[in-house]
Structure 1
């Protein structure tokens, strides 16, 4: 079973691939999405959930989503067509770092996709390259709630992979970005996300006992659950930032 297939199953009940509740997503979109006609770009859009939700009650929006997983992009296109949004949202199956467009965007999103660019600051640099004057960026990434112990490192992390929240924000500001709003995911949001992830994969395995991938799915859920409960629960945080930038001289 390919890891992308596991991810698709894991997010069946939690389509936002980040530890954010539906209420938090609505609040972030209400803060971030410009009024009236606007162009949005999601770098690392996955199944397109953010862009599809942004369209609710905003008929003037036009959006592009980019992700390297062709199957996920195909599912995003199907969801947009089913919602009657096929003429307002376009999805592109390609590396987000290589995407280019003939126009700039009023809002660029990249939530939990910094791995595609090599980290948070490179993600912001890529987003800036697509941003229209006066535009904003909505970016989500991890940070350390406190210094990781050995159990967190054993779960597959390195101590220098992230910084604490204050340092993370300081680094963002040092690159010329101005925080306009932020949301730190709560323990409840993290737990709901992780229980949904592991539970969806486990449920799939129990519902497909004859599938040759049955055992691998159970193992993947168990490995993920152990890494979370014994490793990074309460140590790994997630922050979503709405950022602007002073006009270029």
Structure 2
């Protein structure tokens, strides 16, 4: 049980595996008013930057669950380097269906709502680990501009136009599901740029060092095509944000 090797190559040494900068991640932690002693479950936790930095900065504790062996090990190393390994734990496993043994103050899924077959299912999954009065954090793409054709939809990582919602539609889904939206932090075009462009340099660096690898042809084609696809379609059409929710 693991992610394909291409994911690890593409992400390189990135610590945040979504269109947030470290500054935006810090802003989110401050915005949701974390307090020492709070507990957090992070499903699809990636390399653990959210849990590790928030444990350092806000005194929380928590558990991260991720299917990637590389990310899980990187998260454990990060926890040691920040001196928070006694307060955060990282589990290698499938986050889909994972429920905390003890209810937590904050349950999060930042940019991986496929673990619940979409936003609505992920809200239900996260709530199973949440104490009464606790908070959910959900990271999700949304359409900034209505995509004009199927080519744009596919270029923005969606199988169909309905796979993502507009921002008003997404907020409406939260409301109709019985949740109050109490905070949000949105990626900017600049933070999207930083995330997307970092992949290109990671790919080029790896290709230069591994020209005969079995993945070299596939990743060479990705590096050739992705910059134009990103600036032509993704940058204008696709937004991304993290939304803090409390049960009404």
1:51 aligns with 2:82: no
Residue 42 of structure 1 aligns with which residue? 42
Match of 1:234 in 2: 236
From the superposition, tell whether residues 212 and 97 of structure 1 become closer, same or farther in structure 2 (CA, over 3 Å). Answer: closer
Contact 1:206–1:214 (CA<8 Å) still a contact in 2? no
Consecutive unaligned residues of structure 2, counting only runs of 5 or more, are none
- TM-score, normalised on structure 1? 0.89
2:99 partner SS: coil
Instruction: Output one character per residue of 1:121-150: Cα deviation in whole Å (capped at 9) or x when no partner.
Output: 111111111111221111110111111123
Aligned counterparts, 1:1-249, within 5 A: 4-32=4-32, 34-59=34-59, 61-150=60-149, 151-155=151-155, 156-157=157-158, 158-246=160-248
Task: Please report the RMSD computed on the Cα atoms of aligned residues, expressed in angstroms.
Answer: 2.0
d(CA) in 2 for partners of 1:49, 1:187: 21
Aligned residues: 244
Gapped regions of structure 1 (runs ≥ 5): none
C-alpha separation in 1, matches of 2:188 and 2:58 = 28
Deviation at 1:102, TM superposition (A): 2.1
Inter-partner Cα distance in structure 1 for 2:182 and 2:154: 36
Q: 1:44, 1:237 → 2: CA distance? A: 20
Please give the alpha-carbon distance, in whole angstroms, between the structure 1 residues aligned to 2:21 and 2:220. 25
CA deviation digits over 1:51-82, x for unaligned, max 9? Answer: 111112333x2110011223321222232233
**1:183-210: CA deviation from partner (whole Å, max 9, x where unpaired):** 2221111111111122211222123345
TM-score, normalised via structure 2 length = 0.89
Q: Secondary structure at the match of 2:23?
A: helix
Q: Deviations over 1:194-240 (max 9, x none)?
A: 11122211222123345444333322323433432333221011121
Contact 1:32 1:107 survives alignment (8 Å): no
Contact 1:32 1:138 in 2 (8 A): no
In 2, Cα distance between the equivalents of 1:149 and 1:35?
44
More deviation, 147-156/125-134: 147-156
> Which string of whole-angstrom CA distances, capped at 9 and with x for unpartnered residues, describes residues 67-101 of structure 1?
12233212222322333322211111111122233
Q: Structure 2: how far apart are the matches of 1:169 and 1:98?
A: 24
C-alpha distance in structure 1 between counterparts of 2:72 and 2:240, whole Å: 25
Q: Provide the C-alpha distance between the structure 2 equivalents of 1:101 and 1:235, rounded to a whole number of angstroms.
A: 36
